[in-house]
Chain A
Amino acid sequence: MKELSILITGPAGSGIQTIENLLCRIFKEMGLHTFATKEYMSRVRGGANTTTIRISEERVDAFSERIDILLSLDRNGIDRIQYRIGEDTLIFGDVGKNRNRNFEIDFVKIAEKIGNKIYANTVAVGFILGIIQKGKEIGEEIISGIFNNKGQEILDKNIDALSEGYLTGIRLANSINFNFTIKESEEVKKESFFNGAVAIGIGSIIGGCNFVSSYPMTPSTPVFSFLAQNAKDFNIIVEQAEDEIAAINMVLGSLYAGGRGFVTTSGGGFALMVESLSLAGMTESPIVLHLAQRPGPATGLPTRTEQSDLLFALFAGHGEFPRIILSPGDLYEGIFLTANAFNLADRYQIPVIILSDQYFIDSYYNIPVPEIANFNIEYAFSINTDRDYKRYQLTDDGISIRGIPGGDGFVCVDSDEHNEEGHITEDREITRLMVEKRNRKLKTFIDSKTFIDSKIIRPSFYGSSDYEILLISWGSTKNTVIEAVKPLNNIGYLSLPIVYPLPDIKDYIKKSKKTIIIENNYTSQLAKLIRMETGIEIKEKILKYDGHPFSVEEIQKELGEKI
């Protein structure tokens, strides 16, 4: 066995998160490719949450529903994941009623013997390491690092807890002849392990973000907290607004004054921002907006995942104005699409929306530390306006010089239709020219080298070039689709880091005998967008809308039925 999938289940607040964090750090430090994703209920205590951790000799970056080891902190959580329990699944911990291959282990009791039940989580971590008979030393190192300044006793007890758990695990593994061998890699140890929220957070720092105002809303909040926690190091102004409307308007104010503003939100919050998004379109403000999708309508499933806001993001805002919509499919894209979003917004003076979702935000895996020195922050605004400065000067490409206040010329922006100086107008000719100017910027972008050539933006193709079946998806489904189609021949897969404006994908579709679209929604919004932009109707769809992400197995199963 070269890969292992571990699932931890327990109520909210029971320590799943602690166990996940510790195990993932240990695995990654051991040199194992590690992936972790969580699904949780919208509550602070109780219920049943799970975390899936995959470790492997090869890169793992997608959700698999297979469970090799199930660590149960509460028997009541097992039923809801029954469909994922296979014949070979080993169940440890609070297992309750008799199931196949289950082993009652009382981590709390072991912890109490050491001195206090608070050590139960560390016992559980040690136990998992014992089962795979690896990682005790690294576990001790990491635990020492964490508890070093919490006093000698707490440190010692945690080390004891880890050892006791480890021994229990080894004894059990031996008694059932469980042997797990896996090669560790020096390369993995040098890599970085983080989630989508951090990717977007780092991306905005690389992109030059210096102002963020938002209102907490799951699942977008981790990006906000990441920036707040790193604000001092990167000189970022961070403010929690009274509501999403204030948040986006503060950012618009910051942009007007020369800031590099950013707002992060989820569906309901984005809905509140929509009027102001239209204001950004009218005032030609370069706003970067992160929209972490969750299932709707209304409050929907606050802590779960869906890709149902693509068309909302595309059409949000009254009136006609251009925008760019990016949809990171992996951590690398999360970083660089976000960083690029700031340059694009500034260059074209249009809103750029980054569409992620709960699955993307909460999924961790290791990737090589990316090359960031090659990325350049481009500032397109001017601090030296002259006396005749016109904020909305008509130009061939639609882009006027964006001045900020402080120069000789006044910077006048208006939400009303305006003339070149930014004064209110109702003149028919000026209105027509201004509508054309604003919307022309999208064409300017479509004709740009960035849109046509940029490696990070253009569609990425995987699989054999002589494919018969073409799969298309966007955003967070990327890694899952790639893993699902790996064993299959004759399949090509197209992932779209930019969904709007839609890149030219007609030739890809024409080449295939059958095209299948994969989306985490009910109405197949990308298929609608493709039809709107190209006239091509994609009839074959794999859709999922139960609040959960696709698993590798699900996509394989659905593909099996379609091809």
Chain B
Amino acid sequence: MGKDKNIAWCPGCGNFGILSAIDRAIDELNIDRKNTVIVSGIGQAAKLPHYTEINYFNGLHGRSIPVATGIKATKPELNVIVTSGDGCVYGEGGNHFIHGIRRNPDITCIVHNNMVYGLTKGQASPTSQIGFRTPIQVGGVFEEPFNAISIAISLNAPFVARCFSGDIDKTKEIIKIAIKTKGFSFIEILQPCVTFNKLNTYEWFREHTYYLDEGYNPEDIKKAFEIAIDKEKFALGIIYVNRKRKTFEENLSSIGVKYPVIKQSIEYKKILNLFKKV
């Protein structure tokens, strides 16, 4: 646990389970923490890196994916993990979520989905269920919940999974696979907010989720979509895998980027040639 024991999460918060799953995944994979960076945005979920021992960039609301992309592209030997909430990644940063998957940096993107805004005290999030009442959405939410899993599949994300924070062991195992998978590995972790979401409780999630069968083939995109669009029951496990895409860093290399780029020296002769060429 981190130096700062003064944790800002409520007792019983799903974030504890996610933190524990991430920490254990990193340790069990024997990943060097010195070469690992957690990037987060704003929200209660985004405070996670403060509570472990790791490099981190805790930036702005919604902007964790582009920051993570810049880090990975500049120093690909770093392991880069994004952790932030549904409001941060799907709401404020929705555009980066879409284009991040298109760009496909080799990062792991963990989205804590508690279907509510916690830090701002209980407003609707992009994933709040229709009818969910809040101090702002007084008549209940009427917007269609954001279906990140099906969007990720439609963009051919290399790895798409859903977990439940109440099951730390299985979550940890899926995080381990995600970290090892090349490209944009996306995990949505369903997580109760014990203070502001009285609808989507631990019990509710247990009733509304199920694990995919052992025999499920995540490379079957049609089946993956079918599972992703189910609004009644949320599938847990690895929903979709696509091994065909090159990562952002691989694409950069193939257009001529040579690593390391840090502190490279410049040939002045080449610059003088520029003056002749222009």
Contacts and interface: CB of A to CB of B under 8 A. Distances in A.
Which among B73, B248, B258 has the highest number of chain A CB atoms within 10 Å?
Answer: B73
Which among A237, A247, A275, A421 has the highest number of chain B CB atoms within 10 Å?
Answer: A237
Interface string A396-422: 000000001111101111111000011
Given A210-B262, A241-B66, A405-B37, A253 B275 contact: no
B98 to A, nearest CB: 7
A251 B59 CA distance: 13
Contacts of B271: 202, 205-206, 372
Contact of B57 (A202, A213, A256, A370): A256
Given A202-B275, A372-B271, A415-B60, A405 B262 contact: no
Contacts of B71: 253-254, 256-257, 405
Interface string B118-142: 0000000000000000000000000
Given A242-B99, A405-B75, A415 B275 contact: no
A534 interface: no
Given A235-B257, A246-B99, A369 B272 contact: yes
Nearest to A247: B66
Contacts of A230: 274
A239 interface: yes
Given A193-B278, A415-B58, A423-B3, A231 B268 contact: no
A453 B7 CA distance: 49
A283 interface: yes
Nearest to A207: B266
Interface stretch (B47-55, B195-203, B206-214): B47-55
Interface in B90-105: 95-96, 98-99, 103
Nearest to B56: A412
A423 B50 contact: yes
A407 B55 CA distance: 10
Contact of A211 (B70, B95, B103): B70
A121 interface: no
Contacts of A208: 264, 266
Which among B34, B36, B53 has the highest number of chain A CB atoms within 10 Å?
Answer: B34
B82 to A, nearest CB: 11
B59 A249 contact: yes
Contacts of B56: 410, 412-414, 422
Contact of B74 (A242, A245, A253, A408): A253
A211 B275 contact: no
Given A242-B99, A259-B74, A413-B57, A372 B272 contact: yes
A373 B258 CA distance: 24
Contacts of A261: 70, 74
Contacts of B258: 235
A162 to B, nearest CB: 23
Nearest to A202: B274
A256 B258 CA distance: 19
Interface residues of B, number: 61
A145 to B, nearest CB: 12
A458 B86 CA distance: 49
A421 B69 contact: no
A243 interface: yes
A235 B75 contact: no
Contacts of B261: 210-211, 235-237, 259
Contacts of A246: 63, 65-66, 95-96, 99
B88 interface: no
Contact of B73 (A234, A237, A242): A237
Nearest to A364: B278
A232 interface: yes
B78 A257 contact: yes
A405 B58 contact: no
A252 B34 contact: no
Contacts of A254: 70-71, 73-74
A252 B50 contact: no
Nearest to B68: A253
Contacts of B31: none
Contacts of A249: 59-60, 63, 66-67, 70, 96
B1 interface: no
Contacts of B68: 253
B219 to A, nearest CB: 28
Contacts of B257: 231, 235-237
A202 B67 CA distance: 26
A410 B56 CA distance: 8
A410 B54 contact: yes
A288 to B, nearest CB: 14
A235 B42 CA distance: 33
Interface in A360-399: 369-370, 372-373, 377, 379, 383
A410 B201 CA distance: 36
B34 A407 contact: yes
B256 interface: yes
Given A275-B60, A413-B58, A257 B74 contact: yes
A421 B3 contact: yes
Contacts of A406: 34-35, 75, 77-78
A545 interface: no
A192 interface: yes
Given A193-B278, A246-B95, A246-B99, A372 B268 contact: yes
A250 B261 CA distance: 15
Which among B58, B73, B274 has the highest number of chain A CB atoms within 10 Å?
Answer: B274
Interface string A68-91: 000000000000000000000000
B42 to A, nearest CB: 7
Contact of A424 (B50, B57, B248, B252): B50
Contacts of A236: 257, 261
Which among A232, A242, A247 has the highest number of chain B CB atoms within 10 Å?
Answer: A242
Nearest to B54: A410
A257 B75 contact: yes
B39 interface: yes
B4 interface: yes
A547 to B, nearest CB: 27
Contacts of A279: 59-60, 63
Contacts of A232: 255-256
A256 B60 CA distance: 14
Contacts of B264: 208, 210, 235
B276 interface: yes
A472 B14 CA distance: 61
A338 interface: no
Interface of A: 192-194, 198, 202, 205-206, 208, 210-211, 213, 230-237, 239, 241-243, 245-247, 249-259, 261, 275-276, 279, 283, 369-370, 372-373, 377, 379, 383, 404-408, 410-416, 421-424
22 contacts: A202-B274, A205-B274, A237-B74, A237-B261, A245-B63, A249-B66, A249-B67, A250-B67, A253-B39, A253-B69, A254-B74, A257-B78, A259-B75, A261-B74, A275-B60, A369-B272, A404-B75, A405-B34, A405-B55, A405-B71, A410-B54, A415-B60
Given A241-B66, A245-B63, A250-B70, 10 more contacts: A210-B74, A235-B256, A239-B73, A239-B248, A246-B99, A252-B59, A257-B75, A283-B57, A423-B3, A424-B47
Interface of B: 2-4, 8, 33-37, 39, 42, 47, 49-50, 53-60, 63, 65-75, 77-78, 95-96, 98-99, 103, 248, 252, 255-258, 261-266, 268, 270-272, 274-276, 278
Which 9 pairs, one residue from A and one from B, show the smallest C-beta to C-beta distance? A253-B70, A242-B99, A249-B66, A250-B70, A253-B67, A259-B74, A232-B256, A254-B70, A192-B275
